[in-house]
Structure 1
Amino acid sequence: MLFDVWAPHAESVTLELSGRSVPLSPDPDRAGWWRAEADAAPGDRYGFALDGGDVLPDPRARHLPEGPERPGAVVDLAAFPWRHPWSGRGLPGAVLYETHVGTFTPEGTFDAAAGRLARLARLGVTHVELMPVCPFPGRHGWGYDGVAPWAVHEPYGGPEGLQRFVDAAHGHGLGVVLDVVHNHLGPSGNRLPDFGPYFTDRHHTPWGSAVNLDAPGSDDVRAYFIGSAVAFLRDFRLDGLRLDAVHELADDRAEPMLAELSAAVDALAAEVGRPLFLIAESDRNDPRTTAPRERNGFGLHGQWNDDFHHALHAALTGESQGYYADFARAPLAALAATLTRGFLHDGGWSAFRGRSHGRPLDPATPAYRLVGYDQTHDQIGNRALGDRLAALIGPRRQAVAAALVLCGPFTPMLFMGEEWGATTPWQYFTDHQDPDLAEAVRSGRRREFSAHGWAEGDIPDPQDPATRDRSCLVWPDEDDAPWLLDWHRRLIALRHRYLPAGLTLADVTAAYDEDAGWLLLRNGPLTVAVNLSPDAAARLPLGDGTFTPLAASAEGITHDADGALALPPESAAVLLREG
């Protein structure tokens, strides 16, 4: 078996393999690489010692059964007995469901999560989007402090647990998307700098020195992260990846790493014969993110649309703090702009930033390339108390939000539990093993929210196991589930039946009345009418055509003979327009 590692500054490298020491030799074909052949079997523990130092885990270890700071184990991922053939599910026509393995069930494992997949299939979603599963110190956390980008967190079930989960999802007809973090590694357990220049001081990010994408040695660093992404898609039969905060990938090279990554993923899709996709999280509002590489874009297949979220959140809640300020001045106007143009900030002034921001999308952009949502792990968990949207606005307004998300123009995404209006909080929790780091995170969290008026005693302690436990979903019995669950099922079914995947931004129009509180969205053949007024009925002009009501969130919705739609307070209706 071949063992190899990139360690360009080492004078010697030794493989420590189940009690044996095997010296590695410089690879004559790859500068800075070391290699050796050694007999090994699955389960054998191994690591590398550089210049006679401590035994370190392999940066490309696939299995770390004792955690990211201990030696890895040999594993044969190709030996997994896949039960369900899978031809893939692409992004066009998708309905995503964001999930955190550690709180999706009280057990917090892949196998326990797999037991809930049948309910997601009945809901009508097409893909489960897993938050990061790469190893991090401790047992519980969000996953964005991972330090081993090729491996899988052992408390969740390790690599075979992820394979079992994906296979079970495929058995239910569900694709799987994985959230991956390439912009930083966690503050504890990161040993990559011992091996080589994985980070550079040429750029700085909120987490410190940037990942080295453009300084000397960056060819191999790029290959490390691209190789990790391709390996997850290939070895775990994933359908796509969500790329965390790509705006923090500092990269001055002529070919952006993101374009190199998208080319590698497109090549893998051609090789395996099934669609694969990449979705970026980006705050740049930059059309290059999803523009084709041949048009000097990055070639990513989709991106999260925070502008839509912010506009919808401001309209639903009336909140105007922080970045909501730009959207809260005229929330329905902002919502109409994001629904029809994609971005509110497409070159105009942002008061929150104190500068102009973004660039306009081409109206011919397929609308599915933008992912739309009314809540995500970030938007819930980064609130002081982790309160969900249902806890802020109640079920009637949540039903209105669902109509705009699920029958709107963008690829819709739900956050786990919102389909039944879960009110369990989803809070920020950690399990740092370093006491100093744990206290720094705890005190930093308290300072941050105390500055915004929260009493320190009200802010959950991230290190307290009860914070994670409070964040676990409490699943209702399907027979007794709130009416919102059926509402979400109906909306998703309408989306699958009536909305073509090829609709563009040019196919979407919107009208609104800021004072009356109503908005009318025309999305291809579907019309979504909403009234956000808490106490007044609204009369919406539907316009020309024949309209057939398909779904309504409340009683008393009527269609007048003169073509107007009457909506009670805090209600929504979906209609099919013909002619």
Structure 2
Amino acid sequence: MKTVGSELQGNGRCRFTVWAPEKKSMTLHLTFPEEREIEMERAEWGYFTIEIEDASPGIRYYYKPDGKQSYPDPASQYQPEGVHGPSEVVDHGAYAWSDTDWNNLPMQELVLYELHVGTFTPEGTFEAIIPRLKDLRETGVNAIEIMPVAQFPGDRNWGYDGVFPYAVQNSYGGPLGLKKLVNACHANGIAVYLDVVYNHLGPEGNYFGKFGPYFTDACSTPWGDAINFDGPYADGVREYFTNNPLYWYEHFHVDGLRLDAIHTIFDKGAVSVWELLQNKLQAVTEQTGKPFYLIAESDLNDPKVVKSPEVGGFGFNAQWLDDFHHALYVLLDAEGRKSYEDFGKVEQLAKAFTDGFVHSGDYVKFRKKTFGRSSASVPGNHFVNFVQNHDQVGNRVYGERLSVLVGPERLKLAAAAVLLAPYIPMLFMGEEYAEDTPFMYFVSHSDKKLIEAVQEGRKNEFADFSQKGDFPDPQKEGTFLKSKLQWEKRQQPNHQLLLAWHRELIQLRRNMPALQNFNKVDVAAQAIGQSGMVLLRQSHDHKQQLVCLFNLSEKEIVYTLPDHAAGWERVLHSGEKKWMPTKDAENATKVPTRIKAGQKLHLPPLSVTVYQNEK
């Protein structure tokens, strides 16, 4: 493994290494505590290195390729003055961890919670999250997935414009702040996943091209130049990015990563970048005994994403299941069909529950081609399902959450569908109590032309949508401030009701063996007419069965239990008085507490009912 960046060696020494295979010379330009320049030594494979004495944490520096202009270190671990300022040497051995007994959580036990550091609290820092961990733990959340924290321009951004994959965002609290958060999470029994971006780098502060061929024009991404994973000089690029997960694992005790849009990572090499990464992770985790998990965002609808590299797969532990969101969302919000024209049938939702991918080789209008491959044989714990995430909320014109689009009964249906499914559930911050503040797209660039390009780009992206007011300006601070959670709403009655509903469902997942079985063979689902669905879950030993009945319409539907079914006892009904807002308590509905084979059930409008049968 070729380590790049700055690395303290002890005894007051520090080694600096940078990859620049086409440069003839490289100068280390120190700016603090004193300014001086030192010529670096050229090593093998295009690396330049130098070791200096009298070094200490806090040294700030640049590199000067071929002795010309000074640029920050591409492998910088901290940018205290932003993306254009000097890099700073970090002493990772100085932090006193107290999580030595922490050994990560099995993926199948996770209840993930995606959050954005800047908008999660009024302060918008890592340390400000720590007092909120108790609330998350009491809700049942045991893993947070943090949107990208790699240094980005300014102090507000979703994080996908990051330009220093090894540097922790300065406005969030830098490396020390992140370590404090991870340590506190582990003390609360909460795992930590970081969202990372290996498919492109942001435009502002992106000086990688000044050092070496990190990019390729052989392919492209929607957000910027594609990374050079398989072209000339790709070895240095592959080392840089495949070492990044090891960095988070070793120095920040992170439990796993979510990789953004892996379908825009292109590699035709005989040994793929995924195989190289898996080999490195395996060597490290075998040595420590602590597992490290990788979750993919993929637009391929291909099971190979979660298959082993030995059989041609990418080796991810799990991947986001967008089809589940699409199939569920359009049945909750009729307006959604305008965005997802290929969805809208209850049969598709049933397939999402039993198979995973809804599009598995059929013709898709949106893509204008046949698309996908069946994932029916892939166990459910290899998928992460959700009904909201940063994309689904933030890529709406006004950043509306589901709580603004539909009423409480549909919100209860959404939560039940996600948490009763045979997948790893993920909530988007605030979803658990029906937060209704928007989550909009925001940036804080300093380049005027770039700001104008972003503003125009967002307007063009939504040109086909009717405007209800002023288009939110991504650059304005107000857009960012409006997107902050309002934690005090958790204490308001209607929000408390949804919070209690989520807690109840998560508790069912923890207590019911049938909901801990991810084997697709033990999952069945079918439509009830055009607006209902029955989901059957059973435990590994088949001693416990659950039948979950969904009515997604505003009219009562009738369902007859199969003749072979035994007696069932009710464990949950969303129409009960305790799950109704106070003003609607008189509209509470009743369903039988016990049912038997052949019995006709009248399922109330917009309801979910769960029955249990134990042999």
Residue 117 (1) aligns with residue 133 (2): yes
How is 1:240-279 mapped onto 2 (pairs within 5 angstroms)? 240-279=256-295
1:306-321 matches, cutoff 5 A: 306-321=322-337
Report what 2:485 is aligned to.
473
Check 1:107–1:24 CA distance in 2 against 1; reply closer, same or farther (3 A cut).
Answer: same
User: Does the CA contact (< 8 Å) of 1:90 and 1:277 recur in 2?
Assistant: no
- For residue 512 of structure 1, what is the aligned residue in structure 2? 527
Contact 1:346/1:358 (8 A) holds in 2: yes
Task: Say if 1:549 and 1:574, in contact at 8 Å, map to a contact too.
Answer: yes
Q: Does 1:487 align with 2:521?
A: no
Alignment correspondent of 1:160: 176
Deviation at 1:560, TM superposition (A): 4.2
Task: Mark the CA change 1:504 to 1:433 in structure 2 (over 3 Å): closer, same or farther.
Answer: same
Between 1:30-39 and 1:550-559, the stretch displaced more is 550-559
Aligned residue for 1:65, secondary structure, equals coil
Partner residue of 1:65?
80
* Structure 1 residue identity aligned to 2:484: C
Greater alpha carbon shift after TM alignment, 69-78 vs 141-150: 69-78
Aligned to 2:186: 170
Q: 8 Å contact 1:305–1:371 — kept in the other structure?
A: yes
Shift of 1:26: 0.9
Distance verdict in 2 for CA 1:275–1:283, change over 3 Å: same
Alpha carbons 1:242, 1:280 under 8 Å: kept: yes
Indicate whether 1:97 and 2:113 are aligned: yes
Cα distance in structure 1, aligned partners of 2:171 and 2:336: 39
The amino acid of 2:483's aligned partner reads S
Q: Which residue of 2 aligns with 1:78?
A: 93
> Shift of residue 90 of structure 1?
2.7
Confirm or deny that 1:400 pairs with 2:413: yes
Which range moves more in the overlay, 416-425 or 313-322? 313-322
Residues 90-489 of structure 1 correspond to what in structure 2 (within 5 A)? 90-321=106-337, 324-328=340-344, 330=345, 332-363=346-377, 365-454=378-467, 457-476=469-488, 480=492, 481-489=495-503
Please state if 1:576 is matched with 2:607: no
Q: CA deviation at 1:207?
A: 2.5
**CA 11–178 in structure 1, closer or farther in 2 if over 3 Å, else same:** same
Counterpart in 1 of 2:27? 14
Residues 166-212 of structure 1: CA deviation (Å, up to 9, x unaligned): 01111110000000000000011100111100001111121243100
Cα 1:478–1:454 change in 2 (3 A) is closer
Q: Secondary structure at the match of 1:117?
A: helix
Distance 1:20 1:222, change over 3 A: same
- Is the CA contact 1:322–1:352 (under 8 Å) kept in the aligned structure 2? no
How far, CA to CA, are the matches of 2:570 and 2:287 in structure 1? 45
For 1:78 and 1:573, the matched residues in 2 are separated by 53
The counterpart of 1:557, out of the listed 591, 599, 606, is: 591
Task: Please give the alpha-carbon distance, in whole angstroms, between the structure 2 residues aligned to 1:568 and 1:476.
Answer: 32
C-alpha change, 1:351 and 1:479, in structure 2 (3 Å) is closer
Which residue of 2 is the match for residue 529 of structure 1?
A: 549
Q: Alpha carbons of 1:565 and 1:172: their partners in 2 closer, same or farther (altered >3 Å)? A: farther
Query: CA separation in 2, counterparts of 1:251 and 1:320?
Result: 35
What is the CA distance between 1:501 and its match in structure 2?
Answer: 4.5
Deviation at 1:31, TM superposition (A): 1.6
Q: What secondary structure sits across from 2:410 in the alignment?
A: helix
Amino acid at match of 1:472: K
1:443 shift after superposition: 1.9
Contact 1:92–1:502 under 8 Å retained in 2: no
Deviation at 1:395, TM superposition (A): 1.2
* Alpha-carbon distance, 1:452 to partner: 2.5
Q: Which residue of structure 1 aligns with residue 584 of structure 2?
A: none
Of residues 279-288 and 224-233 in structure 1, the stretch that sits farther from structure 2 once superposed is 224-233
- How large is the Cα RMSD of the aligned pairs? 1.7
Cα shift at 1:557:
2.5
Letter in 1 for 2:186: H
Q: What secondary structure does 2:176 align onto?
A: helix
d(CA) in 2 for partners of 1:485, 1:193: 48
8 Å CA contact retained: 2:354, 2:376: no
Q: Percent identity?
A: 43
* Distance apart, 1:341 and its partner CA: 0.8
Distance 1:354 1:60, change over 3 A: same
- Distance in 1, matches of 2:573 and 2:325, equals 22
* 3-state SS of paired residue (1:149): strand
Instruction: Kindly indicate whether the alpha-carbon contact (under 8 Å) linking 2:351 and 2:358 is maintained by their aligned counterparts in 1.
Output: yes
Deviations 1:514-568 (A, max 9, x none): 43x2111112233322111113354353661332222221121325454444321
The one-letter code of the counterpart of 2:477 is P
Distance of 2:356 and 2:560 partners within structure 1: 23
Deviates more, 1:488-497 or 1:477-486: 477-486
User: Given the superposition, is the C-alpha separation of residues 146 and 160 from structure 1 closer, same or farther in structure 2, using an over 3 Å criterion?
Assistant: same
Judge conservation of contact 2:79–2:86 (CA < 8 Å) in 1: yes
Deviation at 1:55, TM superposition (A): 1.6
Q: Aligned equivalents of 2:200 and 2:560: distance in 1?
A: 48
Alignment TM-score, normalising by the size of structure 1: 0.96
Check conservation: 1:531, 1:538, Cα contact below 8 A.
no
Unpaired segments of 5 or more residues in structure 1?
Answer: none
Instruction: Return the alpha-carbon distance in structure 1 between the equivalents of residues 328 and 49 of structure 2.
Output: 54
- Structure 1 CA distance for aligned equivalents of residues 606 and 443 of structure 2: 38
In the aligned structure 2, how far is the partner of 1:159 from the partner of 1:427? 26
Q: Deviations over 1:76-129 (max 9, x none)?
A: 112211123311113122110000001001111001111211100001111000
Separation in 2, partners of 1:426, 1:12? 46
Question: What TM-score do you get using the length of structure 2 for normalisation?
Answer: 0.90
Distance in 2 (CA, whole Å) between partners of 1:75 and 1:49 is: 20
Contact 2:567/2:595 (8 A) holds in 1: no
Contact 2:510–2:516 at 8 Å: present in 1 too? no
Count of equivalent residues? 572
Preserved contact between residue 403 and residue 528 of structure 1 (Cα < 8 Å): no
The letter for the 1-side match of 2:572 is A
Retained in 1: the 8 A contact 2:554–2:606?
A: yes
For structure 2, the residue ranges without an aligned partner over 5 or more in a row are 1-13, 539-544, 577-589
